[in-house]
Amino acid sequence: MAAGRPNILLVMTDSSRRDTLSCYGAAHAVSPCLDRLAAEGARFEQAHTSAPVCTPARASLLTGTHTPVHGCVENGIARRPDLVTLPKLLGRAGYHTIMVGKTHFGGPAAFDDESVLGGEKGAEVEDDYARHLAAHGFGRASAHPNPIPPDLFCDAFLVDRTIEGISRHRTERLAQPFFAFCSLPSPHSPLDPPGEWAALFDGVDLPRLNYTPGEEDRRPAHLEQLVGRRGVEAEQQDGSLDLDAVDRQRRLYYGSAAYCDAQVGRLIGWLDANELRDDTLVVFTTDHGQQYYDHGFNDKHTFYDESWRIPLIMRLPGVIPAGSVRDWAMTTDLTATFAAVAGVDAPMLQGFNLLGPPARTCAASVLHRSLALATDEWKLEYYPEHATGRLFDRRTDPHEQHDIWAERVEVRRQLLEALLAWRADLTDVQYLQEHTHHGGPVAQRVAAQTARRTGLDAELRLSRRVRA
């Protein structure tokens, strides 16, 4: 183990629901490689993305802060460029940082070694992946049916590039620990699983859709606007679903997720075969889930479990007990964990070290103009522009079909107070500590208070309020 600190391998897919992994109880899922990783490490049951959409979630991972702090509260909005990023933090600790695949960080990230996709996997752009395909006689555009062989397709190519990056690092910098981020674009659309993976779920019994006819009429206006179901750009004015088309999409989606599992397994197998198993923290997760017509639409941008709740698996032999199951985690906790592993003091981070004692008791998130809080028992959504929200009992209504906002007034009040206090408590600690200057007596007192602040303060206070 280089300098007594483990290497770090982070594998992230795009849009992987929890039910793409059988270790999360999905009987239909095909995920032997990630199931094995979970058996060798820890699986988090209550992992939530910091924001249920691509760029905000990835910006939270990169900066270790929530969306109101880094500024990217929705896709199409750049994050603030002045925040310290994960590769810079790890670089300060002597880590060599490797980035392969999809970025979408809302701005530059500055890894030491980068091999990134120039857009989505099916985009017609000129990059290393396009040149790789052209050398084998294929174009970069992708759709179903997919003519590209599985061993040449995007996710396999990115795994190969990650292996090459780690191998090159070991040859040139053997005494230096590495952080490798392998970011796969599947199973995000286009739904284009290659080869046999396209037919893998033909004839397989899939779970019934979590949908009650007419429920779209009861959803908040803010949610409906974000997913394009209300206003002049509405995609499905009548709310109807083509169930045959939905079925085809779902089967291709799970096939694509199974293909990703095989590629992740290949990467971890290479790691283990090359004597890196015992000194590498391996983390698998995703940026967010996806509805795939549960609740009647296909998108994210929502706090339904299908989009907000994500898979998270970690392995570090000798540190993480094999086969363990833990509860709460968020994307920002990964950033804090990596910093802790590297021995970096990073008081601005708004997450817990997941290798320490369990500390998180809930998840809170801000997306565009909406907020949400999930606890063991409740989920509260709040839409400030309309001064209204939704409340679900997670124990008796796990499919989130019965909004009890109007019925459980006291529960709503307590949760809303905790959520709004957390939102008001979110602070850019980096800015305060870099720009607070000593002056007169008041300024000196403020400076002393600022020096004691950490990004974790709001998370700790929220967890205490939720326990109360």
Structure confidence by residue, pLDDT tens digits, 89-134? 999 999 999 999 999 999 999 999 999 999 888 888 999 999 999 9
- Name the more confident of 194 and 124: 194
In the CATH hierarchy, which top-level class contains the domain 2-361? alpha beta
Query: How many whole angstroms separate alpha carbon 310 and alpha carbon 308?
Result: 6
Is 434:450 a contact under the CB 8 Å cutoff?
A: no
Nearest alpha-carbon partner for 78 in 58, 96, 49 = 58
Give backbone dihedrals phi and psi of 190, rounded to 5 degrees, phi first: -65, 140
How much is the pLDDT for 116?
95
> Residue 81: is the preceding peptide bond cis (ω within 30°)?
no
Identify the band that residue 457 occupies on the pLDDT scale cut at 50, 70 and 90.
very high
Distance CA 141, CA 329 (A): 36
Strand order in the sheet with 312-315: 113-116, 96-101, 178-187, 7-14, 280-286, 312-315, 42-48, 324-330
In 3D space, the residue among 62, 94, 96 whose CA is nearest the CA of residue 79 turns out to be 62
What integer best gives the mean pLDDT of the chain? Answer: 94
Q: Which residue's entry shows tokens 């910098």? A: 173
pLDDT tens digits, 218-268: 888 888 888 877 543 344 445 567 889 999 999 999 999 999 999 999 999
Q: What pLDDT digit, counting tens, does each position of 143-162 carry?
A: 999 999 999 999 999 999 99
Alpha carbon of residue 180 to chain centroid: 16
Identify whether the C-beta of residue 332 lies closer than 8 Å to the C-beta of residue 351: yes
Pairing of the two strands 113-116 and 324-330: unpaired
Average pLDDT over residues 67-74: 97
Q: Residues with Cβ < 8 Å from 19, sequence gap 6 or more?
A: 25, 26, 28, 29, 207
Helix axes 154-172, 128-135, angle to 10 degrees: 110
Tokens of 26: 């999905």
> Which tokens is 235 given?
């995609």
